[in-house]
Chain A
Amino acid sequence: MEYKIEKKSAPGREEVEVLGATFEEGKPEGEEMGRWRQKLASREEKLKYLQTGERYWYGKDWYGSEKRKNPA
């Protein structure tokens, strides 16, 4: 893995070198900007997202304000 070194000012000292982020910054540019849905590539990922992200309707363990013994 390539590590990025960043220079930052520290209290009581001058600039110090710190280890930078190793994760993807998540700042797409150009056409991809804002198109978050394309991050989900496979059908399995999409179905999983529906169960979690859209759990209000598709989650098996989600009750929220509508927990009830008998469905309407």
Chain B
Amino acid sequence: MAEVEKNKKSVDTASLELIDKACADEVSLAFDRAEQMKPCPIGVVGSCCSNCGMGPCRVPLPKGKEETPEGKKKRRGICGATAETIAARNFARMIAGGAAAHSDHGRAVAELFIAAAKGEAPGYEIRDEQKLLQLALDWGIEIGDRSNQEIAVDLGEKALAEFGRQEGELLFLKRAPLKRQELWRKRGVAPRGIDREIVEIMHRTHAGVDQDYQNLLKQGTRAALADGWGGSMIATELQDILFGTPAPLLGQVNLGVLKEDEVNLIIHGHEPLLSEMIVVAAQDTEMIELAKSKGAKGINLAGMCCTANEILMRHGVPLAGNFLQQELALVTGAVDAMVVDVQCIMESLPDIAQCYHTKIITTSPKAKITGAIHIEFDEHKAMESAKEVVRTAIENFPRRGKNILIPQEQHDLIAGFSHETINYLLGGLFRASYRPLNDNIINGRIRGVAGVVGCNNARSTHNEGHINMVKELIKNDVLVLQTGCSAMASAMAGLMVPEAAAKYAGEGLASVCEAVGIPPVLHMGSCVDNSRILIAATAMVKDGGLGDDISDLPVAGAAPEWMSEKAISIGQYFVASGVFTVFGVTWPTTGSKEVTDYLFKDFEEMYGGMWAFEPDPIKAAQLMIEHIDKKRKALGIDKARERILYDMEMRRDLI
């Protein structure tokens, strides 16, 4: 394979090594399929409508020339839908898909939470009483002398009711800055319930319903807020209560974490419900003895995608890789089983597994894959399910072939920066505070804060966008908060250790990182944990000195390698929360100038945050820095002020 062509696929040497091996083993990867199949030029700009049986209707912009008013009039679907309506419908449906994924994850956690609280899910327990009490205070649940179980049952039922709520507004909205809450109410986008907003998008985008792009995007905003301040936040908070609120710990990342002499079991997907039990099962003496009886030295667990982030943050289980490395993990020939639940799992896995010896195990009734083994996760006998998964991996170990290549590449990272931990690290146990962060933003040592999140996309070089953007931001004294596959990319580049501050960050940011003892890039968790970034931004507002809304803060967001509908939902709830948000790779509404302008320009006036599209990660980072500087100027903290010690005579002159 030509070196230039191969290097376009990834910037990660471990991945490149395995892309070569896949080529030699005649295994087709997502990278290859992306080369063989170009994206549909009409669908990619949001100009194709397949919402009824009269279509699909294609309404692309004319190629290479300006559109005339007459031409624009003709650009309609069979039902008369304009390019604006079609682009907005498609965009809103992407939000619905993303919000549904995050929120259904939240629902699954709430159901397990109730079962655990009632003692019907053996092995699960309340691990973080403090967060339980915190949520009880949030939601007006009586604490008194009641047991944790009693409080948890009420809390779980109230959380579950948020999904089916029909009126009023979601309870977590009250956590947002007061001004933001007022704005949502004024704009009519405060979500009434989680499921209701998603269902309403599906109704409105059905043929012949909502045909006003602004009204469609308004509902999109409402559903996205129901994700960020609803479903995702419920998932994060209840998981913290059940499995523990993350605190900093040392971890390792990249495919080099696989071990040649141990049973390698990769846990891939998003929900940590079963994986928490697998972590326990893999340490069981019976399982370890079984592994040894099969000739292995032990059981090596590793994570993939957001499940990886969840079990890394709470148990230090190493990260094998991000989205575009799931196929490559199998290509090592050293993975005895890969267990998956939901979201971002490639259907190609069982086919690739056939070329080696790996067993692909699905566990969710919502996500089965032809060619995989199905071991259904039952929360009432979770340990049994977990042990069956581990046993399947162990029994497959002797079938491992000789065609094995485990790259040496692995890096250290510090993970586990929840909002609670940042608050503690900045102020200590007796006066936890965001004050040091705000002060250092005001004095200019830290220019601003950026959230860089999202996926990998086979249509852009794996990890390149994330790493280049993050390096550019920290070089310019912007503290970076990360989640999901984006966080893993930075960890693979060695940006998530404290030493990275001196090496890559600007002088101001480096000095703060050194004083506090944190890396310049903070790992905040999985994709539902973007809700932690919302809370961190709110804490910055509430601490004072940087305005009274998230839109006043010198902050920005980005997803340089996004691919999933979840990313669109995340972006939309960040924008509607007041954050300027830049996406790379592609933008799904460019088929309509009006819709794109509405999202990129008019939204700023309405919500204080807006979208932007810039495929070049360095240019995108500069757009974020420009926005941060604009906010600094508006706050009056854009220039260093001379410090003068006034004597009495100078004071008298002031009068």
* Contacts from A to B (Cβ < 8 Å): 33-37, 39-40, 43, 46-47, 49-50, 52-54, 56-58, 62, 64-66, 68, 71-72
Q: In the assembled complex, how far is the CB of residue B419 from the closest CB belonging to chain A, in whole angstroms?
A: 9
Q: Does B178 contact A (CB under 8 A)?
A: yes
Q: Does B106 contact A (CB under 8 A)?
A: no
Is there contact, CB below 8 Å, between B543 and A64? yes
CA distance A45 to B105 in the complex (A): 32
Is there contact, CB below 8 Å, between A35 and B129? no
Q: Does B138 contact A (CB under 8 A)?
A: yes
B429 partner residues in chain A, CB cutoff 8 A: 36, 39-40, 49, 53
20 contacts between A and B (CB under 8 A): A34-B247, A36-B421, A37-B130, A37-B420, A43-B133, A43-B143, A46-B129, A46-B130, A47-B133, A50-B130, A53-B427, A56-B538, A64-B542, A64-B544, A65-B177, A65-B541, A66-B178, A66-B542, A66-B548, A72-B181
Closest 10 A-B residue pairs measured CB to CB? Answer: A53-B432, A56-B542, A72-B178, A65-B544, A64-B544, A46-B130, A65-B548, A64-B542, A34-B247, A34-B248
B129 partner residues in chain A, CB cutoff 8 A: 43, 46
Is there contact, CB below 8 Å, between A58 and B548? no
A53 partner residues in chain B, CB cutoff 8 A: 423-424, 427, 429, 431-432
A52 partner residues in chain B, CB cutoff 8 A: 430-432
CA distance A49 to B423 in the complex (A): 12
A49 partner residues in chain B, CB cutoff 8 A: 130, 429, 432
A50 partner residues in chain B, CB cutoff 8 A: 130, 133-134, 137
Q: Does B154 contact A (CB under 8 A)?
A: no
Write the chain B residue with the least CB distance to A63: B544
CA distance A54 to B416 in the complex (A): 18
B residues 124-171 touching A (CB-CB < 8 Å)? 128-130, 133-134, 137-138, 143
Q: In the assembled complex, how far is the CB of residue B174 from the closest CB belonging to chain A, in whole angstroms?
A: 9
Q: In the assembled complex, how far is the CB of residue B176 from the closest CB belonging to chain A, in whole angstroms?
A: 9
Is there contact, CB below 8 Å, between A71 and B430? no
Write the chain B residue with the least CB distance to A33: B249
Q: In the assembled complex, how far is the CB of residue A47 from the closest CB belonging to chain B, in whole angstroms?
A: 6
Q: Does B546 contact A (CB under 8 A)?
A: yes
The size bracket of the interface on B is: 35 or more
A34-B249 contact in complex given A46-B130, A50-B137, C-beta closer than 8 Å: yes
Contact of B143 (CB < 8 Å), options: A40, A47, A54, A64: A47
B74 partner residues in chain A, CB cutoff 8 A: none
CA distance A43 to B133 in the complex (A): 8
Is there contact, CB below 8 Å, between A36 and B178? no
Q: In the assembled complex, how far is the CB of residue A68 from the closest CB belonging to chain B, in whole angstroms?
A: 7
Q: Does B182 contact A (CB under 8 A)?
A: yes
Q: Does B175 contact A (CB under 8 A)?
A: yes
B539 partner residues in chain A, CB cutoff 8 A: 56
Q: In the assembled complex, how far is the CB of residue B412 from the closest CB belonging to chain A, in whole angstroms?
A: 15
Is there contact, CB below 8 Å, between A35 and B247? yes
Is there contact, CB below 8 Å, between A68 and B137? no
A36 partner residues in chain B, CB cutoff 8 A: 247, 421, 424, 429
Q: Does B371 contact A (CB under 8 A)?
A: no
Write the chain A residue with the least CB distance to B421: A36
In the complex, besides A43-B133, A71-B178, 20 extra interface pairs with C-beta distance below 8 angstroms are A34-B248, A34-B416, A36-B247, A36-B424, A36-B429, A46-B130, A46-B133, A50-B133, A50-B134, A52-B432, A53-B424, A54-B432, A56-B434, A58-B134, A64-B541, A64-B542, A64-B544, A65-B542, A65-B546, A68-B178
A58 partner residues in chain B, CB cutoff 8 A: 134, 137
Contact of A72 (CB < 8 Å), options: B182, B248, B424, B541: B182
Q: Does B399 contact A (CB under 8 A)?
A: no
A54-B134 contact in complex given A36-B424, A36-B429, A66-B542, C-beta closer than 8 Å: yes
Q: In the assembled complex, how far is the CB of residue B150 from the closest CB belonging to chain A, in whole angstroms?
A: 13
CA distance A47 to B134 in the complex (A): 8
A47 partner residues in chain B, CB cutoff 8 A: 133, 143
Q: Does B545 contact A (CB under 8 A)?
A: yes
Q: In the assembled complex, how far is the CB of residue A51 from the closest CB belonging to chain B, in whole angstroms?
A: 9
CA distance A46 to B432 in the complex (A): 13
CA distance A46 to B134 in the complex (A): 9
CA distance A54 to B538 in the complex (A): 12
Write the chain B residue with the least CB distance to A59: B542
Q: Does B407 contact A (CB under 8 A)?
A: no
Is there contact, CB below 8 Å, between B179 and A57? no
Q: In the assembled complex, how far is the CB of residue A5 from the closest CB belonging to chain B, in whole angstroms?
A: 28
A37-B128 contact in complex given A53-B429, A65-B546, C-beta closer than 8 Å: yes
Contact with A along B220-250 (1 / 0, CB 8 A): 0000000000000000000000000101110
CA distance A52 to B431 in the complex (A): 7
Q: Does B547 contact A (CB under 8 A)?
A: yes
A72 partner residues in chain B, CB cutoff 8 A: 178-179, 181-182
A54 partner residues in chain B, CB cutoff 8 A: 134, 420, 423, 432
Is there contact, CB below 8 Å, between A65 and B545? yes
A43 partner residues in chain B, CB cutoff 8 A: 129, 133, 143
Q: In the assembled complex, how far is the CB of residue A29 from the closest CB belonging to chain B, in whole angstroms?
A: 13
Q: In the assembled complex, how far is the CB of residue B370 from the closest CB belonging to chain A, in whole angstroms?
A: 42
Q: In the assembled complex, how far is the CB of residue A69 from the closest CB belonging to chain B, in whole angstroms?
A: 12
Q: In the assembled complex, how far is the CB of residue B534 from the closest CB belonging to chain A, in whole angstroms?
A: 13
Q: In the assembled complex, how far is the CB of residue A43 from the closest CB belonging to chain B, in whole angstroms?
A: 7
Q: In the assembled complex, how far is the CB of residue B636 from the closest CB belonging to chain A, in whole angstroms?
A: 14
A56 partner residues in chain B, CB cutoff 8 A: 434, 538-539, 542-543
Q: In the assembled complex, how far is the CB of residue A49 from the closest CB belonging to chain B, in whole angstroms?
A: 7
Contact with A along B388-415 (1 / 0, CB 8 A): 0000000000000000000000000000
Write the chain A residue with the least CB distance to B183: A72
Write the chain B residue with the least CB distance to A58: B137
Is there contact, CB below 8 Å, between A65 and B543? yes
B538 partner residues in chain A, CB cutoff 8 A: 56
Q: In the assembled complex, how far is the CB of residue B131 from the closest CB belonging to chain A, in whole angstroms?
A: 9
Contact of A57 (CB < 8 Å), options: B138, B247, B434: B138
Write the chain B residue with the least CB distance to A39: B429
Contact of A40 (CB < 8 Å), options: B130, B137, B181, B416: B130
Is there contact, CB below 8 Å, between A65 and B547? yes
B420 partner residues in chain A, CB cutoff 8 A: 37, 54
CA distance A71 to B182 in the complex (A): 10
Q: In the assembled complex, how far is the CB of residue A33 from the closest CB belonging to chain B, in whole angstroms?
A: 7
CA distance A60 to B328 in the complex (A): 53
